[in-house]
Structure 1
């Protein structure tokens, strides 16, 4: 009998990894991502299944918490086929190579410290290396197109539909024919908002015997996007006029591109004071180039800017800081800067160096434009930390801290309910990708508004479908 087990994103937001064992077919893994925040240690734990038993990996999109452990999967024996959108694999290459580089650098640093005390044998090797990440792209990769079914094996087909979350993001529908009956199993992936600065709205699915749906913001609605944009503009304008700098910790994929689009539009609307805008993240720079390459998949706002000057993102104030020396030169500028740097949750990256130089100055502003997982530095700051520990140094948080949830690339409660309302047949709903308290609220909302059976998935729970 067909069953699904979730070995990640079960009563937590990150670590997406869903194992589908078909009665008479291949073993399918939907996503294989990093755990982040307070569950980070699970990333390094052994898999709860044998990677050699996985025949096919389907990827919903390229965020680290959905693809980050694929090299580990390959390293430990997976040699099957990967199916994903071409844009997803282009972005995944950027994400995975960066992840491998960080893992290797962290290992070298830990080993160097351990050698001073003679404990180098206790230092675990990196979760994977750059060579392991490259090996992912040596596998058989089958590229999907939106809304075109792919026959995986006789009796099993998969269709990718636009999830509207980031470039190449998909909702995955797996149709399994067994004993004259076809079951439709749907994994929402991360769904985007119906009102997004850069992406088109999510596409609908018509039938699901079992729907595995994300619930990150299942407990609430985002504030209206226009209000969020207006507030963001006000913070930027006021900070720059007061001789301050704007620091934006940003996720390399999607959120950075949204912010760039907004700031570029401010420039053309003559709302932006004269300033320097630094994109200080090699990964975000490469991702932005990929977004530009796939501009046909972006929405009307992006297309309008492309037609205006031949590029979606570039404008005269914008500078790309690709190398470390370029990043360090930013510190020489005392004011008049907008600095967009990774990482989005402040768990590493160049944003930490900018915090060291500017977080203590009350003229400056920090704008968080994405979800901050429990246990991350970003979460500490939005929860009101008066100081943070950074590079073995206490840094006072005197800069103004702003959390703008309206930019979220995730659907909110109303978006999720509206998306599910479009199903013509929806038998049972399974909640994944959410914190337990938020899932409990969302479960009650679904029962009240959709009158459908709903279950909160637990880690490793075997669910027969």
Structure 2
């Protein structure tokens, strides 16, 4: 049986997830993500390693841009086959891809204007990678997949999507390749979530695979208990209010924003924090939050019970959704302390930059990070302790309090990743560790080897393996 896998993204880095699988009859991609690390963004512009027209299908694990954000370019360059995804993923991806296209256009225009003013040129400054219209061309290609139901992808490949517990609609993907009545199973973890977290059900386990591709974003650490982290969140809010500052939270529109609203709602109802204004300043997060109300079957027991009793974790007094630009700008003139949740989660674009400009040099304010910050992103520079950062073309001293609460991450920690691997009943031939920085992936490889005595490796960018 001839099967080849090539790692075209998320190989010893955290974004740009893209895996090419070739069989005797089929070429397909698992994920088609955008690189978000500044040092790697040039890869987004490079020609695809395989002709898009020759691809049989694309399978998308979830709607985060680093897993689906290169789909518009793939379609623009000639792909016209099916894009398999869960219904929630497809619906959210329609929003996130259109938003990404719009941001691409806005960023290109802004850079062009700034570079003309500065009299300098860069390699890709003046044209967007793709537009919002390009993104819309992806929408008709979505093919909806139900969890736990095997579907045909091509003549020799079937797929089963399993709940990954990472974000709404997220999936681990089990591929079965059949040739001459022989089967090879490759399991892709996608991004895995944590057990016993608000809103979502726990990840499903897969019991058998010949090869496993597993993420390692937080493969070198153990998350703090979520209840302890929530108390820290309440303390950070209270301390910032006492100083008279704002709490600015760069947050991913999908899942992280909804988790925050869940906890803020609970804190206010339990009087752990005072009633104050909470702004969700992200049109995409607002649209995605509405989608959450459409799929109650994806909720865990606690959230389902909350909804059954006629309430919602995403609605409470003092919560404002700011869709319009004018409403977003009005936040900048708020006189009383408030909480501002805005995208993007790594501060790479969007409205968060304007709130950083307004708060990062204020000693009374807090910039609170609740998600992973990839190397080279503005968020990573800030969390690494930069004394001065460049935002929207100007430099600002960092005087605000900088806090991180990694327990709120939607990514599994090392014990959870190992827990997921324990679901496999038979020893796989090899485990491929991806979606992590080199040191982190190596730490997880060591843990896998010591725990299971399995062969594990972290593939390099564009590396190929015969399965």
TM-score (norm 1): 0.95
Moved more, 263-272 or 299-308: 299-308
Q: Is the 8 A contact 2:103 2:349 kept in 1?
A: no
C-alpha displacement of 1:43: 1.3
Q: Give the direction of change, closer, same or farther, for the CA distance of 1:392–1:135 in structure 2 (3 Å limit).
A: closer
1:39 maps to which residue? 40
2:29 maps to which residue? 29
Answer yes or no: is 1:130 the counterpart of 2:139: no
Q: Give the direction of change, closer, same or farther, for the CA distance of 1:115–1:361 in structure 2 (3 Å limit).
A: closer
Answer yes or no: is 1:15 the counterpart of 2:42: no
Q: Give the direction of change, closer, same or farther, for the CA distance of 1:121–1:209 in structure 2 (3 Å limit).
A: closer
Q: Is the 8 A contact 1:277 1:318 kept in 2?
A: yes
2:238 maps to which residue? 237
Choose the corresponding residue for 1:443, options 432, 439, 445: 445
C-alpha displacement of 1:387: 2.2
Answer yes or no: is 1:331 the counterpart of 2:332: yes
Q: Helix, strand or coil for the counterpart of 1:426? A: coil
Q: Give the direction of change, closer, same or farther, for the CA distance of 1:156–1:120 in structure 2 (3 Å limit).
A: closer
1:60 maps to which residue? 61
Q: Give the direction of change, closer, same or farther, for the CA distance of 1:177–1:34 in structure 2 (3 Å limit).
A: same
Measured in 2, the distance between the counterparts of 1:367 and 1:315 equals 21
Answer yes or no: is 1:368 the counterpart of 2:408: no
Choose the corresponding residue for 1:429, options 428, 431, 442: 431
Measured in 1, the distance between the counterparts of 2:415 and 2:303 equals 25
Measured in 1, the distance between the counterparts of 2:319 and 2:72 equals 34
Q: Is the 8 A contact 1:3 1:21 kept in 2?
A: yes
1:303 maps to which residue? 304
Q: Give the direction of change, closer, same or farther, for the CA distance of 1:435–1:122 in structure 2 (3 Å limit).
A: closer
Matches within 5 A, 1:230-309: 230-309=231-310
C-alpha displacement of 1:121: 11
Q: Helix, strand or coil for the counterpart of 2:137? A: helix
Q: Give the direction of change, closer, same or farther, for the CA distance of 1:343–1:118 in structure 2 (3 Å limit).
A: closer
Measured in 1, the distance between the counterparts of 2:189 and 2:405 equals 24
C-alpha displacement of 1:274: 2.2
Matches within 5 A, 1:62-77: 62-77=63-78
Answer yes or no: is 1:461 the counterpart of 2:463: yes
Q: Give the direction of change, closer, same or farther, for the CA distance of 1:118–1:331 in structure 2 (3 Å limit).
A: closer
Matches within 5 A, 1:127-276: 127-139=129-141, 141-276=142-277
Deviations 1:147-189 (A, max 9, x none): 0110223442110000000001000001111122111111110
Measured in 2, the distance between the counterparts of 1:318 and 1:244 equals 18
Deviations 1:36-64 (A, max 9, x none): 11312211121111111111000000000
Q: Give the direction of change, closer, same or farther, for the CA distance of 1:82–1:305 in structure 2 (3 Å limit).
A: same
Measured in 2, the distance between the counterparts of 1:87 and 1:331 equals 33
C-alpha displacement of 1:245: 1.4
C-alpha displacement of 1:425: 1.8
Q: Is the 8 A contact 2:103 2:350 kept in 1?
A: no
Q: Where does the alignment leave 5 or more consecutive residues of structure 2 unmatched? A: none
Q: Where does the alignment leave 5 or more consecutive residues of structure 1 unmatched? A: none
Measured in 2, the distance between the counterparts of 1:378 and 1:395 equals 14
1:312 maps to which residue? 313
C-alpha displacement of 1:365: 1.2
Deviations 1:280-334 (A, max 9, x none): 1111111111112223202233223323444330111101111111011112212
Q: Helix, strand or coil for the counterpart of 1:153? A: coil
Q: Report the aligned-residue RMSD.
A: 1.9
Moved more, 444-453 or 355-364: 355-364
Matches within 5 A, 1:337-356: 337-356=338-357
Q: Is the 8 A contact 1:241 1:273 kept in 2?
A: no
Measured in 2, the distance between the counterparts of 1:41 and 1:77 equals 20
Measured in 1, the distance between the counterparts of 2:154 and 2:247 equals 52
Measured in 2, the distance between the counterparts of 1:312 and 1:290 equals 13
- Number of equivalenced pairs: 463
2:91 maps to which residue? 90
Q: Give the direction of change, closer, same or farther, for the CA distance of 1:305–1:332 in structure 2 (3 Å limit).
A: farther
C-alpha displacement of 1:20: 0.5
Q: Helix, strand or coil for the counterpart of 2:427? A: strand
Q: Give the direction of change, closer, same or farther, for the CA distance of 1:154–1:125 in structure 2 (3 Å limit).
A: same
